[in-house]
Amino acid sequence: MGIVFIGPPGSGKGTQAVRLSQHLDVPHLSTGDMLRAARDEHTEIGNSVHDFLVSGRLVPDPVMLELIGGRLKEADCVGGCVLDGFPRTLAQAEALDEFLSTHVGPLDVAIVLVVDEEELVTRLAGRQRADDQPDVIRRRLKVYKQQVDPIAEHYEEKGILRNVDGIGTPDEVYQRIQVSLQGVER
């Protein structure tokens, strides 16, 4: 089962993506986590992405494709995965389609967690991450807004888009995600 999780920073997509991946027993691949780990380990990719992470700008597509392409080729991804934070550009979405069609099989669902901006700023202001400073938060939300529509449209055209209301307790949101997957699970 291949699932893409899309949501603005602070939408709770990481928490929900982990829970869903455990339920489906497939790996949870968070590109944000992978980039932060690479940065902390000072790998070549990690050193090259430091400034993007600090400023909240998107890491260039070729770097992202190298990172995620390598991970998707690993044996544990053969039965699918839950992608969290990828794709973030149309070019990434198209590259992912191509990769999956040759290696694993097409995506089953793209879930977009919908949370309004006011709620997100309040939530993010309570977190302690370096890229959760107010000006960086605003940039990350702006970057998200610019990128999400073309990606959502791409998955809408494929008939696999599910918009899920992200306001509520984590349990409530997870219930909605499960409802949105009815008829898809295999």
Q: Which of 144, 164, 140 is nearest to 56 (CA)?
A: 140
Provide, rounded to whole angstroms, the least separation between the CB of residue 5 and ligand AMP. 10
Q: Give the span between the Cα atoms of 28 and 69, in whole angstroms.
A: 14
**Residue 53 engages ligand AMP in binding (rule: CB under 6 A):** yes
Q: Is position 11 an interface residue for ligand AMP (rule: CB under 6 A)?
A: no
**Residue 82 to residue 77: CA distance in whole angstroms:** 9
Binding of ligand AMP by 31 (CB under 6 A): yes
Map residues 120-159 to x or -, x wherever contact with ligand AMP holds by CB under 6 A. Answer: -----------x--------x-------------------
Give bridge partners of residue 4 from the DSSP assignment: 83, 110
As measured in angstroms, the least distance from the Cβ of 50 to ligand AMP is: 10
129 noted as active-site residue: yes
Which SS3 state, helix, strand or coil, does residue 164 take?
Answer: strand
Let me know if 36 is a catalytic residue: no
Q: Which of 19, 39, 140, 176 is catalytic?
A: 140
Q: DSSP string of 58-122? A: PPPHHHHHHHHHHHHTSGGGTT-EEEES---SHHHHHHHHHHHHHHT----EEEEEE--HHHHHH
Nearer to ligand AMP, 19 or 131 (CB): 131
Indicate the residue whose CB is closest to ligand AMP: 32
User: Least distance in Å: CB of 157 to ligand AMP?
Assistant: 20
- Look at residue 183 and give its three-state secondary structure: coil
Residues that bind ligand AMP in the complex, under the rule CB under 6 A: 9, 31-32, 35, 52-53, 56-59, 64, 85-88, 92, 131, 140
